[in-house]
Structure 1
Amino acid sequence: MEVSVHPIVLLSIVDHYNRIASQTNKRVVGALLGEKVGNKLEVTNCYAIPYDEDAEDNQIWFLDDLFHREMLQLFHRVSSREHFVGWYSTGSSLLAHDMRIHDLFTHDASDPLYLLVDIQSGSPFLPLSAYVCRNNDGEKVFKHVNYNIGYLEAEAIGVEHLLRDILQFKHLPMAAQVEKKVSALDAFKRCMHEVLEYMNLVVEGKLPLNQQINMMIQEIFCILPNSEDKQLITAVNERMNDFYLSLFISSLVRSVTACHRLIDNLIEYHEDGKAIEHEKPKAVVLAEGEGEVPHAGTTAESA
């Protein structure tokens, strides 16, 4: 099965979690809508379902099935192409009673999809897992399926504007930018290790040869530039020198600006000190003069 999840679904799940369970350890549950054509499944929409479970015993849970039926009918009226294709839940791992919830949704779809989203994950990878139910020697088990993030042109424009607005209000310092680049390179390194392990297992005969995977790996290596090319090395060095020059100039500008602020503060401090020194003698003279002035009553008596 080829599963494609649209960005609006992920944003809706995050919004559902932030509204209901962001301050608690509870999880949220909802329904997935989309269209299935042959072996391809497009998840294009979703909605929340009231759900609660016992904090001490998660085998005790409640899901509002009546609300789910009413919402499904309303969505059918709005968009007849979107059908119920599965359900989602938040959390870091599968729970024992997830299969019971999954069986409840089999009345609406013959082979529903289960999306598990780890909202609080700190992994650089997308914290999303997709599962379907399969029989294993008479026992129902969840089987992991691959997925990709698909989007329409309108969705791509909306996500681009959303990210642009977020970046306008979030100015990352240089250390944070470097940390993100290091995290991305670390994720790339782990992916390359997985590819290397797969190739070693194929060479050892522990895994069957998959021509499609080999073609994808070959395409990746064809895209990579030749690191021994002199022109590429020269271009990279020039780009790095330009980057270091801009950093050096910006550091000089910050230093000069700091010096100007220091000088302005010193000048302002000296001017304030001189003003205070000029005001003190005037106040003393005025006080002494007021003490020598005779009172009107005393003058009249002496007269």
Structure 2
Amino acid sequence: MMATNPLDRISASKKVIIKMSGLNLTVRVHPVVLFQVVDAYERRNADSHRVIGTLLGSVDKGVVEVTNCFCVPHKEHDDQVEAELSYALDLFDLNRKVNPNENVVGWWATGNEVTNHSSVIHEYYARECNNPVHLTVDTSLQGGRMGLRAYICIQLGVPGGKTGCMFTPIPVEVNSYEPEVFALKILQKTMGVSPPHRPKTVSPMLDLTQISDAANKLQGLLDLILKYVEDVIAHKQTPDNAVGRQLLDLIHSVPHMSHEQFTQMFNANVRDVLMVITLSQLIKTQLLLNEKLTFLPTKTN
């Protein structure tokens, strides 16, 4: 049980001490974290207006990479906060057995603002990690979107007097691994009008279909770049130095190879994809046959 302690006002005539640690941090949140937060909010108790939990990830060179999270059951009263800390510790220990590289980097809460109880909860996480991050996810969709904000707590006070903390916003962005990007693209295809009580379903594309789709998108982007370059050369469009530098970096990133070398590399990659598809189909067929043979009824004499 954690009891709240409201901060007293600090007199302007006194010298104020402010500890500005952690202001150079940047938070990168992965989509799986947002899905887990929304899922925990949808599964909350009927009398719960806010859901909190622990953020897991890593910190490297001023960047907090949030890759996982879990919910912590709690109850908020007017003068205190009750949280099941033993449950949080047990769940963290279980997660460490699966993901040993993930550590506690802060905590999250649903809503679009920092409440009076946030300082008490933040004080607990300050004992679990250095400069914990507080992430708020607006599940009420104010403004038509799910707002995402990140804060750190700055210590302030007067010498020999009252001390407290102040939540200060820090930059936050959504970052995705390649598998997460693929999953998000599939989820985007489920958006649209569907019959009532019958959600729209989309099946993952085959590997060759994905290659064809990616090639078509790449061709469209190349056509767009060529049109921009031709318009700039013909003085139909004002050149942009930033775009020019990005195009130059893009050209330098392309390896120098002949047409025959590119054709050989492309054909080799296609053969690798076909081999993986063939092996996966064989394994799937073998598993189905094994399942049929295992559960085949035996005759008794």
Q: Shorter chain as normaliser: what TM range?
A: 0.5 to 0.7
Q: Which residue of 2 aligns with 1:16?
A: 40
**Deviation readout 1:213-266 (Å, 9 max, x if unpaired):** xxxxxxxxxxxx99xx9899xxxxxxxxxxxxxxxxxxxxxxxxxxxxxxxxxx
Partner of 2:62: 39
SS of the equivalent of 1:107 reads helix
| Distance of 1:110 and 1:158 partners within structure 2 | 33
Q: Which has the larger radius of gyration?
A: 1
For the residues of structure 2 that align with 1:7 and 1:170, how far apart are their CA atoms?
A: 27
Provide the rounded CA distance (Å) in 1 between the counterparts of 2:237 and 2:116: 58
Distance 1:230 1:39, change over 3 A: closer
Which of 168, 177, 181 aligns to 1:156? It is 181
Matched, 1:28 2:48: no
Partner in structure 1 of residue 291 of structure 2: none
Length-normalised TM-score, structure 2:
0.53
Structure 1 moving runs of 4+ over 6 Å: 229-232
Residues 102-153 of structure 1, C-alpha deviations (whole Å, 9 max, x = no match):
0011121111110111111331454111101112344311111011110100
Q: Which amino acid aligns with 1:36?
A: V
Q: How does 1:255-274 map to 2 (within 5 A)?
A: none
Report how many aligned residue pairs link the two structures. Answer: 174
Structure 1 spans left out of the alignment, 5+ residues = 172-224, 233-303
Give the superposition deviation at 1:168. 6.2
Question: Percent identity among equivalent residues?
Answer: 28
Structure 2: state its 5+ residue gaps: 1-24, 158-162, 197-230, 239-301
**Letter matched to residue 85 of structure 1:** V
Counterpart Cα distance in 2 of 1:63 and 1:49: 7
Q: What is aligned with 1:2? A: 26
Are 2:101 and 1:81 aligned? Answer: yes
Match of residue 202 from structure 1 = none
Q: Corresponding residue for 1:290?
A: none
By relative contact order (CA 8 Å, sep 6+), the higher-ranking structure is 2
Q: Which has the higher helix share?
A: 1
1:90-239 correspondence to structure 2 within 5 Å = 90-124=110-144, 126-137=146-157, 138-167=163-192, 169=194
Distance of 1:93 and 1:122 partners within structure 2: 12
Confirm or deny that 1:49 pairs with 2:72: yes
Alpha carbon RMSD of aligned pairs, Å?
Answer: 2.7
8 Å contact 2:40–2:71 — kept in the other structure?
Answer: yes
Work out whether residues 139 and 146 of structure 2, in 8 Å CA contact, stay in contact via their aligned partners in 1: no
CA contact (8 A) 2:105 2:129 kept: yes
Counterpart Cα distance in 1 of 2:185 and 2:89? 34
**1:187 maps to what in 2?**
none
Task: Kindly provide the amino acid, as one letter, of the partner of residue 87 in structure 2.
Answer: F
Q: Which residue of 2 aligns with 1:293?
A: none
